[in-house]
A and B are shown apart, each in its own frame.
Chain A
């Protein structure tokens, strides 16, 4: 089983739609969680950290469910510029604290 699993997509949605991505992780000792976005083979850019109580940043909402070991990202009012690959990242407390990336979910927002 992969340490971090994501649906690769693509998710094709019209502008203005709401879209949600889920990510599951296998290591229950994981401590820190993040969402990154990656455009067209460029470097991953931090979108937001995910806090235990859930957090929101504008149109983006992240949730963490430790019991079920999954993280979600909700994007409201999708824009064309949201088209990218969204990477779920987990950082365990055990071991060496490296950042473990999912393979990403591709989103295409259509005009």
Chain B
């Protein structure tokens, strides 16, 4: 069975700091990769996704992620965070054997103003 690991459970940053959240998955075949965000009191929303092509994916709100196949990683980055980025971030993987998503444990990001 595939699994997804997010190594940082809690991250605290000051505004304008750079962000990188790690995500590693275990499935060896073809995968689709996603980052979702859950702002306080809101639904899960898609930040960005990778299906194929350019491994550097741009998402909403200045986020990007890089798929490194050799490292089974899909880390999320943002060069300069804002207070409004305070949220929980989830990495998810979908393999070509099914349509369900396997989620990582989530990373709670707090950005101090």
Please say whether chains A and B are actual partners in one complex: no
B: residues with CB less than 8 A from A are none
